[in-house]
Amino acid sequence: MVIQTYIWASYFGRAFLGTIRGITLPAILMASAIGAPAVGYIYDFTGGYALAWWLLIGIYGVAFLVMMSAVPPDRDGFGRSSDARLVGLFFRSRRSARSDSTSPLGDASPTA
């Protein structure tokens, strides 16, 4: 799961990583929950795992083709999408407004 998050962040940017995970994680969990019993039923009906393996290879093949045909989102010169840049500007302006107040860490706090 860690590598998945890294790939999504490098592909789409970090601004909407929570939204992307929120959309895809339920589908991943449902596939994981259905996959093991489905393979068990295939084994019960066929007496072996060969059909299950071929189905999984086919599913991974389709997933590979979809991933290779995906078009990356538009990015600006900073390696982020334009929406991510707008979100960054919003948080940067909020951070600078907070930097006027006294930091509980004193001089050790990072500058914005």
Query: What integer best gives the mean pLDDT of the chain?
Result: 76
The predicted pLDDT at position 99 comes to: 52
Phi-psi region of 79 (alpha: psi -120 to 50; beta: other; left: phi over 0): left
Q: Residue 95 gets which letter from DSSP?
A: H
Encode pLDDT of 47-85 as tens digits.
999 999 999 999 999 999 998 888 777 665 455 555 555
The predicted pLDDT at position 26 comes to: 94
The predicted pLDDT at position 102 comes to: 53
Q: What is the pTM of this model?
A: 0.56
Nearest-10 Cα torsion for 82, 76, 23, 36 = 180
